[in-house]
């Protein structure tokens, strides 16, 4: 099959991959392996390092009706995701070593490798004291974040960024000025005004992004900006990187594929935070992926129950996306010629693994056998009832996408297989 591995500079050439004892043993032409189980790609299928999704809500502990660790990892496997970073807004919040260990223990036999982003403040509260970063790191946390409840106190955030830098652990920041976004249901603009719906101005994200960049610059420490959605945040990150500030960023498939026009039908499954923006923002996000301003694509997979999502005005924000992320990238970026397949895999696997310091994102010999096998040309329609997590709030539901995961290998074990 065709092998794409940016880390090994493999750019879609036909090759064999030998997996043995949970590791990649060889990649090359006509590998002779006795008694091996064979997947014959026939030049039709592609193989790449398993996707690394650095922004996932598993809802466990606390919200098992929405998702749990095992169901979330089943969804990951069906989407070719072999490593994921779970966010800390659970109940209780991931603010103690015990909760970190609970997640890692429960994920030990799951269908994906689970990594933990621990909370910055106790209980994710802005008035609360900082968590014990050292203890959380020793328990297994590999990032720190308050995600959807950003740290309002700038002094406290500066302390967190400096403490995390001393441990060599990234801070991943949901950038939002909560005063500006208060009460908003969708992007503030022509569509929100037409619907008579309170909006969230782009400035809410932009002010948060500007603050994190200012702190990173002032203290000489790194910060990673989550789910970038606005043209101004892109410009701020681009300028900061040119000045040598240690800032990186990610976006999500819905921000490069969709706009706030989608909400004219008042479907709460299309509400998330930050919200879908304008066409100008969407095009700017795509350009940021192309020129390296943004280094990763993550899903912000956020399960909610159908009951929660039934009322447009009262529904919580969030949509699920791990099972559709690769197809969305192929459909909206690769097929139109905006990115090559190699560039897409770099953004969805190699680069996020590097940002998180994970031994993942490559098919190099000796690497863990985390592999996604997919048909880049298969066309399918997203049916929420056929997805594999517990929730159905898929932002791409009913859409025809191109590119289908056919098999996922995690740690040398088939965790997903369909028709191969």
For residues 33 and 50, give the distance between their C-alpha atoms in angstroms, rounded to a whole number.
23
187 annotated ligand-binding residue: no
254 annotated ligand-binding residue: no
Is the distance from CB of 384 to CB of 405 less than 8 angstroms? no
174 annotated ligand-binding residue: yes
301 annotated ligand-binding residue: no
In the sheet that 81-86 helps form, which strands lie side by side, from edge to edge?
Answer: 51-56, 81-86, 113-118, 141-144
Q: Is 300 a catalytic residue?
A: yes
58 annotated ligand-binding residue: yes
State the catalytic residue, choosing from 53, 95, 206, 300: 300
Is the distance from CB of 383 to CB of 408 less than 8 angstroms? no
Within 8 A by CB and 6+ apart from 145, the residues are: 87, 88, 117, 118, 119, 120, 171, 172, 173, 174, 226
Instruction: Note the residue count of the chain.
Output: 420
In 3-state terms, what secondary structure has residue 202? helix
359 annotated ligand-binding residue: no
Apex 357 CA angle, 88 and 417, nearest 5: 75
H or E stretch covering 231: helix 231-242
b/e map of 375-414 (b: 16 or more CB within 10 Å)?
A: bbebeeebebeebbbbbbbbbbbebebbbbbbbbbbbbeb
H or E stretch covering 52: strand 51-56
The two three-digit tokens of residue 28, written as one number: 């090359």
300 annotated ligand-binding residue: yes
Q: Which of 119, 113, 109 is nearest to 160 (CA)?
A: 119
- From the annotation, which residues make up the binding site for Zn(2+)? 55, 57, 147, 174, 227, 300
Residues with a known catalytic role: 300
- From the annotation, which residues make up the binding site? 55, 57-59, 89, 147, 174, 227, 300, 304
- From the annotation, which residues make up the binding site for substrate? 57-59, 89, 304
């Amino acid at each position: 099959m065709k092998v794409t591995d940016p880390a090994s500079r493999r750019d879609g050439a036909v090759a064999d991959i030998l997996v043995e004892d949970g590791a990649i043993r060889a990649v090359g032409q006509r590998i002779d392996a006795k008694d091996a189980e064979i997947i014959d790609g026939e030049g039709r299928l592609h193989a790449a390092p398993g996707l690394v999704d650095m922004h996932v809500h598993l809802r466990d502990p606390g919200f098992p009706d929405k998702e749990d660790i095992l169901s979330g990892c089943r969804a990951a496997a069906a989407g070719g995701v072999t490593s994921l970073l779970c966010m800390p807004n659970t109940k209780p919040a991931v603010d103690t070593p015990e909760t970190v260990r609970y997640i890692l223990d429960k994920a030990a036999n799951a269908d994906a490798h689970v990594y933990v982003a621990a909370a910055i403040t106790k209980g994710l509260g802005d008035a609360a004291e900082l968590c014990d970063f050292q203890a959380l790191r020793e328990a297994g946390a590999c990032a720190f974040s308050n995600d959807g409840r950003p740290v309002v106190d700038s002094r406290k955030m500066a302390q967190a960024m400096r403490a995390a830098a001393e441990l060599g652990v990234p801070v991943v920041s949901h950038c939002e000025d909560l005063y500006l976004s208060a009460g908003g249901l969708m992007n503030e603009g022509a569509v929100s005004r037409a619907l008579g719906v309170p909006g969230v101005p782009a400035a809410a994200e932009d002010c948060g992004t500007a603050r994190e960049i200012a702190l990173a610059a002032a203290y000489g420490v790194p910060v990673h900006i989550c789910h970038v959605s606005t043209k101004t945040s892109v410009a701020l990150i681009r300028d900061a990187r040119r000045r040598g500030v240690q800032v990186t960023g990610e976006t999500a498939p819905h921000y490069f594929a969709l706009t706030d026009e989608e909400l004219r039908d008042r479907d709460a499954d299309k509400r998330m935070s930050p919200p879908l923006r304008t066409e100008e923002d969407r095009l700017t996000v795509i350009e940021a992926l192309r020129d390296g301003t943004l280094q990763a694509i993550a899903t912000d997979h956020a399960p909610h129950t159908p009951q929660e999502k039934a009322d447009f005005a009262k529904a919580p924000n969030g949509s699920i996306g791990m099972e559709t992320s690769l197809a969305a990238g192929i459909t909206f970026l690769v097929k139109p010629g905006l990115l090559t397949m190699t560039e897409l895999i770099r953004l969805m696997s190699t680069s996020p693994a590097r940002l998180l310091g994970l031994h993942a994102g490559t098919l190099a010999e000796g690497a863990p056998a985390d592999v996604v096998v997919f048909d880049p040309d298969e066309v399918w329609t997203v049916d929420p009832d056929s997805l594999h997590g517990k929730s159905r709030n898929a932002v791409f539901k009913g859409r025809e996408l191109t590119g289908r995961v056919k098999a996922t290998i995690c740690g040398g074990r088939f965790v997903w297989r369909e028709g191969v």
